[in-house]
């Protein structure tokens, strides 16, 4: 049962173990030579058990042979496993003795590889008129022969394969299906933006194309390409990173990367990554003319507000807000002949948008500027109060005057002769005295206060048509 295995055979058998995803794992491995699966009895198959501890062999699930030898030469068909006390039971290996067998190499099959499946007759009898099947469907358009070549391997080549043919001197035979598993050579790359997520003009941009190689084979160097909006931006190159030292607005767009094997047999593209480059955030400034001390102005003054940005490119649009409401547009806001209604907070908004895709955008607010409009003369502040006081004084004086006249008439009726009936008034005379109080206010546009209030008086005339001076009765009323 014992036999020697060459170095090349051991390497091939180890690769078969890797196909099962057990490379590096602390488990028992069962290696086969020649490195085909299923193995066929007429090939003088040798099995080697790798692990820790004494070997126990099993055939078709039952203990077979004695403990001790690490490798055996198979003389009977069946399914073989081996056990090591420290590493456990190995995966099974099938040895066939069928009339027709489809064999697959035991090595790991990765994308981009070339693999050959061979259809063999029992004891190497000649097989003719061979057809190959995948998942029960015949593969048409293949050249005649007993071998099926798959190159380059792709993930969609995975499946269950079989063959059918005429075995010499026997009959039509069909093989048992064998599973072909194609593993990824490397994972689908992911494009990652290195550094801060916000990219501004003039700053560097670093993109990394990340892909994980297959653990079933030492990683081979890949080539990388970078795309912006479908156009090649960099590569092919050996580095998975792309560095743009200083970007501008034109670098905004959809980026992707492609990883490919040497020779380009396997290519995989990442999903798109949106990159937006913005201008430096501008600072909007609002100033008032005349001078910084002119935040307090008087009614009737003229005031100009100016807005500008420290950073930014034309065209820049300026919008003025008064107490949060839009009132004007443009870099200058001129207020003519202002009144108290112009008091409040002023703020300008600077906006900019360039390009059809609108990548270069900013919207900056200036600090709020408080404007206080104060009256231009004392009449503006106290005008209403003084007018009210003047009117009240005049009415009080009028009441006193009327009271004095009534008292005088009563005195004459009681102490003297009855008065003569009044003569008809002459033309131009009046029988009563009156005082008219008026106010005149010339307000600036939008003003709510009165300016230059005045009190006027009327003359007092007697029955004989002579005019009396106001001072003769109540003095001057101002």
DSSP SS3 for 292: helix
Residue 422 in tokens: 């009044």
Q: Which of 43-57, 131-145, 451-465 has the lowest mean pLDDT?
A: 451-465
pLDDT of 149 reads 95
- Of the pLDDT bands very low, low, confident and very high (cuts 50, 70, 90), residue 283 is low
pLDDT tens per residue across span 7-59: 334 433 443 344 444 444 568 889 999 999 999 999 999 999 988 778 899 99
Q: Which tops the pLDDT comparison, 472 or 78?
A: 78
Q: In the 8-state DSSP scheme, what is residue 473? A: H
Q: Is residue 259 within 8 Å of 267, Cβ to Cβ?
A: yes
- Of the pLDDT bands very low, low, confident and very high (cuts 50, 70, 90), residue 294 is very low
Quote the CA–CA distance of 19 and 119 in Å, as a whole number.
Answer: 21
pLDDT of 308 reads 80
Asked whether the predicted pLDDT for residue 474 surpasses 80, the reply is no
DSSP SS3 for 14: helix
Q: Which tops the pLDDT comparison, 331 or 376?
A: 331
Q: Which of 224-238, 282-296, 301-315, 317-331 has the lowest mean pLDDT?
A: 282-296
Asked whether the predicted pLDDT for residue 181 surpasses 80, the reply is yes
Nearest C-alpha neighbor of 113 from the set 195, 33, 185: 185
What distances in angstroms separate CA 46 from CA 8, 53, 71, 76, 476, one per listed residue? 13, 20, 7, 12, 141
- Residues 284-374, CATH architecture: Sandwich (2.60)
Q: Which of 64-78, 257-271, 354-368, 437-451 has the lowest mean pLDDT?
A: 437-451
pLDDT of 408 reads 62
Superfamily for the 190-278 domain:
Immunoglobulins (2.60.40.10)
pLDDT of 189 reads 97
Q: Which tops the pLDDT comparison, 350 or 108?
A: 108
Averaged pLDDT for residues 175-194: 96
Quote the CA–CA distance of 120 and 126 in Å, as a whole number.
Answer: 8
Q: DSSP assignment of 363-431, as one string?
A: EEEPPPEEEEEE-SSHHHHHHHHHHHHHHHHHHHHHHHHHHHHHHHHHHHHHHSPPPPPPPPPPTT--S
pLDDT of 261 reads 94
Q: DSSP assignment of 25-88, as one string?
A: SSS-EEEEES-EESEEGGG--EEEEESSS--EEEETTEE-S-S--SEEE--S-EEEEEEETTTE
Most confident range, picked from 175-189, 368-382, 389-403, 432-446: 175-189
pLDDT of 419 reads 46
pLDDT of 11 reads 35
Quote the CA–CA distance of 44 and 277 in Å, as a whole number.
Answer: 68
Phi/psi-derived region of residue 384, left when phi > 0, alpha when psi is between -120 and 50, beta in every other case = alpha
pLDDT of 388 reads 40
pLDDT of 471 reads 35
pLDDT of 410 reads 63
CB-based contacts of 235-242 (< 8 A; 24+ apart in sequence): 236/260, 240/208, 240/209, 240/210, 240/211, 241/194, 241/206, 241/207, 241/208, 241/209, 242/206, 242/207, 242/208, 242/209
Asked whether the predicted pLDDT for residue 351 surpasses 70, the reply is yes
Asked whether the predicted pLDDT for residue 285 surpasses 60, the reply is yes
Asked whether the predicted pLDDT for residue 431 surpasses 50, the reply is no
Averaged pLDDT for residues 109-126: 95
Q: Which class does domain 7-182 fall in?
A: mainly beta
Q: Where do the domains of the chain lie?
A: 7-182, 190-278, 284-374, 378-473
Q: Is residue 453 within 8 Å of 387, Cβ to Cβ?
A: yes
Rg (CA), the chain: 54
pTM over 0.85: no
pLDDT of 361 reads 61
pLDDT of 249 reads 85
Q: Which tops the pLDDT comparison, 278 or 467?
A: 278
Same CATH topology for 190-278 and 284-374: the answer is yes
Q: DSSP assignment of 144-179, as one string?
A: SSSEEEE-S--GGG-EEEEEEEEETTS-EEEPPPEE
């Amino acid at each position: 049962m014992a036999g020697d295995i060459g170095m090349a055979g051991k390497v091939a058998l180890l690769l078969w173990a890797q196909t099962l995803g057990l490379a590096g794992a602390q488990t028992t491995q069962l290696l086969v030579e020649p490195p085909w699966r299923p193995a066929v009895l007429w090939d003088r198959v040798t099995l080697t058990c790798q692990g820790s501890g004494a070997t126990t062999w099993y055939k078709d699930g039952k203990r077979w042979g004695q403990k001790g030898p690490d490798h055996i030469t198979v003389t009977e068909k069946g399914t073989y496993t081996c056990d090591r006390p420290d590493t456990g039971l190995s995966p099974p290996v099938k040895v066939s003795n069928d009339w027709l067998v489809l064999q697959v190499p035991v090595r790991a099959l990765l994308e981009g590889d070339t693999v050959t499946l061979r259809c063999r007759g029992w004891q190497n009898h000649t097989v003719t008129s061979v057809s190959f099947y995948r998942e029960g469907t015949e593969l048409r358009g293949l050249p005649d022969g007993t071998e099926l070549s798959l190159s380059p391997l792709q993930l969609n080549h995975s499946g269950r394969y079989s063959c059918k043919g005429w075995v010499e001197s026997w009959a039509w035979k069909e093989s048992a299906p064998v599973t072909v598993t194609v593993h990824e050579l490397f994972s689908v790359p992911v494009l990652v933006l290195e550094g801060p997520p916000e990219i501004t003009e003039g700053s560097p941009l670093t993109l990394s194309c990340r892909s994980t190689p297959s653990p079933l084979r030492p990683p081979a160097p890949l080539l990388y390409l970078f795309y912006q909006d479908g156009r090649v931006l960099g590569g092919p190159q050996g580095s998975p990173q792309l560095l743009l030292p200083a970007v501008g607005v034109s670098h905004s767009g959809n980026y992707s990367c492609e990883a490919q094997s040497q020779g380009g047999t396997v290519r995989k593209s990442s999903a798109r990554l949106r990159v937006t480059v913005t201008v430096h955030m501008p600072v909007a400034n609002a100033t008032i003319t005349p001078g910084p001390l002119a935040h307090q102005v008087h009614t009737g003054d003229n005031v100009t507000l100016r807005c500008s940005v420290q950073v930014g490119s034309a065209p820049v649009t300026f919008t003025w807000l008064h107490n949060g409401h839009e009132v004007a547009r443009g870099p200058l806001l001129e207020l003519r002949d202002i009144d108290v209604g112009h008091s409040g907070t002023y703020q300008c908004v600077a906006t900019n948008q360039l390009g059809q895709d609108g990548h270069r955008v900013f919207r900056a607010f200036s600090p709020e500027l408080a404007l206080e409009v104060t009256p231009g003369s004392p009449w503006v502040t106290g005008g209403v109060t003084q007018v009210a006081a003047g009117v009240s004084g005049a009415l009080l004086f009028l009441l006193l005057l009327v009271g004095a006249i009534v008292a005088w008439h009563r005195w004459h009726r009681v102490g003297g002769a009855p008065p003569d009936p009044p003569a008809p008034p002459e033309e131009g005379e009046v029988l009563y005295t009156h005082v008219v109080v008026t106010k005149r206010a010339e307000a600036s546009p939008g003003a709510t206060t009165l300016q230059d209030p005045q009190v006027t008086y009327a003359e007092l005339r007697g029955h004989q048509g002579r005019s009396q001076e106001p001072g003769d009765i109540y003095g001057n009323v101002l």
